[in-house]
Structure 1
């Protein structure tokens, strides 16, 4: 890092510049340009520095910042800029030797101190511009979360959504303007929330409670969790398929022939660092996949409508590929020719023709070939019997 970078990101608390350490205050006082949202700019005293309001949406401010290169610039952010803040966006946009960051006290730290919650045991989420459904995988009685929200109205929206999900008994600790003269704390339940004068900035401490359905952390969610037209990898097969896909942190999946999106969605639920692209040729199914992903809190699923292999060109390269639909010799030839060595491939087949194709490729490339036959108990006249499902042949290989 350069000794004196032109750009400094300073984390400002609700007590304004008075709460800054001497080094941060000195850099702020010597700045030629101070850039930040109006609320932050209003906290600092008048000076000779030019003031630039950061526009909305946030990305529109980056070109403005680019044009200030060469001047001594301070960007004001909230608390710790690298904890659901502006720091990571700025760091991606500029070279490491151009900037430095001086973080302040995070809202999460202040909230945990007020509530006496061990921060290492609490989920922390920034939902200023993200959907509330990102909370969905974590809704389970006893879970504690600290959530940053856009404004006071978003707290009521959160309470309404928790009620809708069956978690209306959850306790909400509404923490406003932490660390400043306007700080206020009030507690209620999602079902009983009645005050509507909540001021920005706001952090909500959640203690989840209620009779809503929690999402299991195991692979193989109930089929009923997914909206489907019947084209879905059924729960036991899905669990075995996720085991074969073997997701590891940071990996990217291609889910070819998405159907209801269940494989790609369950892949993403395994770890927040995982990414996935689902390829689905039918428009109505592609839209259904998006709805399922949003409802289950993994809106980061990338859905591509198109036919494989044509739709695969130009996509970010995967670590793992699952073929659940559209299996053909041409697709397997394309994958073999275009994917780098080390890519893991899992394909499921139900028809005799696709089973024969996998047997041929197993002979050609090796790997594991598994035949899965399942039966479920059901009524048989006045008694019960076994009802067999179609067998599934699964081929797993590392290219």
Structure 2
């Protein structure tokens, strides 16, 4: 194919000592518009890339331009990295960190147990590790991928941030270097949403008397928070952690903020019971946390409300136990640039009676205020 080409495009590391008669354009990283134009104009062009161009590669952009292609795929770099670590890779979620997607890729690494990150200049292992402070992760880095100095290193977050890494590189972010996901019918990690749904009953979470979110309330809170893969949710005054854990089960990265040590123990136990990984944070350290996409505040304390309104989240949901604080809550959020709405939610559950009939037993009367940018 190279012998028949009048144009060859690819990075120098892959072209090696090619000395054919075709014009050569050295191109590393995403194809520029000029290179794509040259490929489209050539009568016989060869684009040399590492791995499979159909896996987060250049095949998509060539198809979008309508350029006819013949594909000779190689082994993907993710496959190679997993093989070097001697582990299966059907449980690995793969994300791209290029451009504005970096923040979403970071949040997937915060939420999931095994994530391969296709890095980019300015969004490499060190930058990723910096954003993972506070999460316990092992970082496997394959640097100088396909080059003469290719090397695999497995380090913790602190070491990954400190080192300088050769490009191009690839990262595998793991909660444990030895753990492997269970065999499933679907690749890429746990399915979202989970099979048993969401808004689980209160009995699904260990708590103490007077602390907890009724499932009917949790359902509405989750609908307004819109947790999903790639997002970060703060669960402030988390209590048993039920809302944050449910958000994590829906794919979001979660930070549970709670001051009570006894409740923190319950949050850890509940997260483990539901097989999600959430980060615990002290209730007075909100300004030191990474910016969330959504915030749930289970309190109407004015100081906490002002802090949560000012962090720049796209969505904020506040549980307001005190009716005389509803207007203050609404005005604080509106003053921070949000469109504000809310409701008073009253629920009653079906209860069997002694004679075999069914009655309704009131269970919840809750005021929720939510806001969106």
- TM-score, normalization by structure 1: 0.48
Task: Output the CA distance in 1 between the equivalents of 2:168 and 2:305.
Answer: 48
Instruction: List per-residue Cα deviations over 1:346-366 (Å, max 9, x = no partner).
Output: 111233344454355577654
Task: Output the CA distance in 2 between the equivalents of 1:264 and 1:12.
Answer: 31
Pick aligned residue for 1:277 from 248, 255, 265: 255
Which stretches in structure 1 are left out of the alignment for 5+ residues?
17-57, 78-84, 103-124, 149-213
Answer with 222-231 or 376-385: which moved more. 376-385
Equivalent position of 1:121 in the other structure: none
Alignment map for 1:119-130 (pairs within 5 Å):
128-130=177-179
Deviation of 1:238 after TM superposition, in Å, equals 0.7
Task: Output the CA distance in 2 between the equivalents of 1:128 and 1:13.
Answer: 13
Equivalent position of 1:390 in the other structure: 364
Deviation of 1:247 after TM superposition, in Å, equals 2.0
Equivalent position of 1:303 in the other structure: 280
Task: Output the CA distance in 2 between the equivalents of 1:244 and 1:12.
Answer: 38
Pick aligned residue for 2:292 from 289, 304, 318: 318
Which stretches in structure 2 are left out of the alignment for 5+ residues?
1-9, 15-49, 51-76, 87-136
Alignment map for 1:138-287 (pairs within 5 Å):
143-144=184-185, 216-230=195-209, 231-271=211-251, 274-287=252-265
Matched pairs, number: 237
Structure 2 residue 12 is the aligned partner of structure 1 residue 3: yes
- TM-score, normalization by structure 2: 0.51
Structure 2 residue 345 is the aligned partner of structure 1 residue 372: yes
Distance 1:315-1:384 versus aligned 2 partners, 3 A rule: same
Distance 1:235-1:91 versus aligned 2 partners, 3 A rule: same
Deviation of 1:127 after TM superposition, in Å, equals 6.3
Task: Output the CA distance in 2 between the equivalents of 1:320 and 1:219.
Answer: 17
Structure 2 residue 268 is the aligned partner of structure 1 residue 290: yes
Instruction: List per-residue Cα deviations over 1:34-71 (Å, max 9, x = no partner).
Output: xxxxxxxxxxxxxxxxxxxxxxxx97998xx99x9xx9
Task: Output the CA distance in 1 between the equivalents of 2:81 and 2:250.
Answer: 33
Task: Output the CA distance in 2 between the equivalents of 1:333 and 1:60.
Answer: 36
Distance 1:255-1:378 versus aligned 2 partners, 3 A rule: same
Task: Output the CA distance in 2 between the equivalents of 1:225 and 1:318.
Answer: 26
Equivalent position of 1:182 in the other structure: none
Answer with 359-368 or 343-352: which moved more. 359-368
Equivalent position of 2:322 in the other structure: 351
Task: Output the CA distance in 2 between the equivalents of 1:147 and 1:359.
Answer: 41
